[in-house]
Chains A and B, each alone.
Chain A
Amino acid sequence: MTMPTYLGMPAFPRAARAAVADERLRDNLARATGTIRDRRRAAVAELDDWAALREAGRRIKDHTLRYLDHYLRLLEEKVTAAGGTVHWARDAAEANRIVADLIRATGRTEVVKVKSMATQEIGLNEALEKEGITAYETDLAELIVQLGDDRPSHILVPAIHRNRSEIRDIFRRRMPDAPPDLSDEPAELAEAARRHLRAKFLSAQVAVSGVNFAVAETGTLVVLESEGNGRMCLTLPKTLISVMGIEKVVPTWRDLEVFLQLLPRSSTAERMNPYTSAWTGVTPGDGPQEFHLVLLDNGRTSVLADEVGRQALRCIRCSACLNVCPVYARAGGHAYGSPYPGPIGAILSPQIRGIGSPVDASLPYASSLCGACLEACPVAIDIPEVLVHLRAKVVEEGPRHPLAGTAMAAAGWTLRSPRRLALAQRLASASRRLIGRRGRIRRLPGPLRAWTDSRDAPAPPPESFRAWWKRTDGGRA
């Protein structure tokens, strides 16, 4: 298993249909994503060189990926020289094994965790549980998700699908030390979480974290956060284990000047997030005295081998693409059936897991190719381009797609040529961008209607793929 597909997860169109029908979920999502969208726009507009920063970010990431072997060797050398230990994991099982063994070696059965996409991707908490190790999530949102026996639905705000009164109910029910008269005031909810976790932090011996950036040149690891739970995890325990995808490396310390401007504004729409921690190996007398870095492949090297798909590895997990996505806003994060929801999930999960399952084969269709994600992405990942590329692959080698019997069959032989399909879809996507978008989901010609059955947005009547094909002379017009 490379990455958990959520158990019993239906393929995207069905899961999305259920979510679209859930009015409360849709309200919570619409309110939250609408707020963050507007604030993000303002935070980005404040920097008149945003386009230049974005371009530099894209180039630094592309360069790093092109020399990934070199930078990983350099990172390993520098982390080791600074007193850390570097481990390499080919897949989820190997990474989980390494982390579990490291925790066992400390003699502890409890660890505190700070939110990490990589450890969600490998299903670390579940793997540790099987070994009798309890992992306590310490991000407020993760705590809400964990206490609610729930699944994260957003990269940055995993409990985005919960509103404040639902959160209060979860706390009252599942947090033993929550005051019985707890209100749904956000400040009171935060206070309850603070009290609940403080004892855990102060007694924690082992912490597990993710990594936002790893500087090869110096061996420095960087974690951005808001609440201070990250600082707690990175500072108080004796042993720190950080798990990072191999694409998180950047060449130099200086490169952070780009990403520390791009990431906070893109993700939380802040000039800077409340806390960023950077550490290099072990500092005598300050912080964990034992540091382990686990470098995780888990499918990334095969993403790297795909020249179109590899741009997904530039992702800095800001979640801007989720917040601007009309499909995400209606379908919600759970419909994507993976820890990576939204547009980035639609291109990352099928690449990491392969397109062998119905859910992964349907993910490249979880988009209307409106292009809003590309426009928002701080490292300019052309998500529509990768989606189209993956659709071609699904048609070529994936399982029989749930939609294969309808739109796709009608499209006939043309769909069996991935190149022609890609061309057709690219053109469609490009023309959509020219036409402009008003945040509406529109139907696309032919097979691009793919997921449209699962939503009820007002949209112009569809042109059949055949009609479109004919009118455009097979996509050449």
Chain B
Amino acid sequence: MSEPQGRRTGPDRDATGTGAPHGAPQGPRTARDEILGRIERALGRRRPPVDRAYAAIERPYRRRHHESGIVDLFAERLAHYRAVVHRVEPADLPGAVARVLTRGRYAVPAGLPAHWLAEVDPALLVHEPPTTELDALDGVVTGCAAAIAETGTIVLDHGPGQGRRALSLVPDHHLIVVTADQIAPDVPEALERLSPARPLTFVSGPSATSDIELNRVEGVHGPRTLDVIVTR
């Protein structure tokens, strides 16, 4: 866990109540001072150093629930959400993309590998459309940053080949290409691969709601059709 930086006196001193709040203005107590003061009073001053206490938290749970068959598991779990999963050899990827992108015009983010689209009619593709045009498009094709087999989840970090968040949100159809090496067996290892400094979107199936009698209904505000091509 990272140390606080800058003017801070460090986690140990803050946590044991010996570090005075920084930058507290003179005069009437601010809400910040008051809330932090109440917390300090509630917790008492004598606490072991925070880093030591944090490190002592035991984590006897599994790092992963499956050791093998990770790609199969991912495909199965994702399909369970009624995403349409296509499994192809890497060489067949352009053909698979072309077979999915047939229903109108599609947004394409900058940085998407050009060969993925080699067999798609260029007239169908709109590169980096402005947000105001997104609602008029039929779909979007992106890559991803990582995937989670156990939960059938795809994570976008909206870097090259994925586009800004709006791009994969507004159009009603989302095609995501996932390569086998991007699939982590389970949640812990997937989080290790991701940078929280990036905006992240975890996608597990098409948009859905359980708000009507607690039954899952696909298709509310996010893309209602989710196609996923998984390369072996």
30 chain-A/chain-B pairs, Cβ below 8 angstroms: A32-B213, A63-B54, A66-B53, A73-B4, A73-B36, A157-B211, A157-B214, A159-B211, A186-B217, A226-B210, A234-B165, A236-B131, A236-B166, A246-B35, A246-B39, A254-B191, A261-B61, A268-B210, A271-B77, A272-B204, A275-B202, A275-B204, A276-B200, A276-B202, A278-B199, A287-B165, A295-B35, A297-B35, A301-B35, A305-B42
B227 within 8 A of A: no
A19 within 8 A of B: no
**CA–CA, A164 and B209, complex, Å:** 13
B contact residues around A290 at 8 Å (CB): none
Are the C-beta atoms of A286 and B199 separated by less than 8 Å? yes
B127 within 8 A of A: no
Are the C-beta atoms of B219 and A191 separated by less than 8 Å? yes
Question: Most chain-A Cβ atoms within 10 A of its Cβ — which of B11, B43, B61?
Answer: B61
| Chain A, range 123-142, C-beta contacts under 8 Å to B | 138-141
Known: A286-B164, A287-B199. A217 touches B2 (CB 8 A): yes
A contact residues around B202 at 8 Å (CB): 260, 272, 275-278
Known: A141-B211, A226-B209, A301-B35. A275 touches B57 (CB 8 A): no
Nearest to A233 among chain B residues (CB) is B221
A328 within 8 A of B: no
Are the C-beta atoms of B169 and A228 separated by less than 8 Å? yes
Are the C-beta atoms of B196 and A227 separated by less than 8 Å? no
- Taking the closest CB of chain A, its distance from the CB of B145, in whole angstroms, is 12
**CA–CA, A386 and B30, complex, Å:** 32
- Taking the closest CB of chain A, its distance from the CB of B33, in whole angstroms, is 9
Are the C-beta atoms of A59 and B57 separated by less than 8 Å? yes
A280 within 8 A of B: yes
Are the C-beta atoms of B151 and A271 separated by less than 8 Å? yes
B115 within 8 A of A: no
Are the C-beta atoms of B166 and A90 separated by less than 8 Å? no
Interface string of B1-16 (1 = CB under 8 A from A): 1101110100100110
Nearest to A62 among chain B residues (CB) is B57
- Taking the closest CB of chain B, its distance from the CB of A116, in whole angstroms, is 16
Question: Most chain-A Cβ atoms within 10 A of its Cβ — which of B14, B202, B205?
Answer: B202
Nearest to A218 among chain B residues (CB) is B196
A9 within 8 A of B: no
**CA–CA, A257 and B150, complex, Å:** 13
A contact residues around B61 at 8 Å (CB): 49, 52-53, 56, 258, 261
Are the C-beta atoms of A74 and B4 separated by less than 8 Å? yes
The one of A49, A90, A227, A251 that contacts B31, using a Cβ cutoff of 8 Å: A90
The one of A89, A144, A201 that contacts B221, using a Cβ cutoff of 8 Å: A201
**CA–CA, A48 and B65, complex, Å:** 8
**CA–CA, A158 and B212, complex, Å:** 10
The one of B60, B212, B222 that contacts A274, using a Cβ cutoff of 8 Å: B222
B contact residues around A35 at 8 Å (CB): 213-215
A383 within 8 A of B: no
B103 within 8 A of A: no
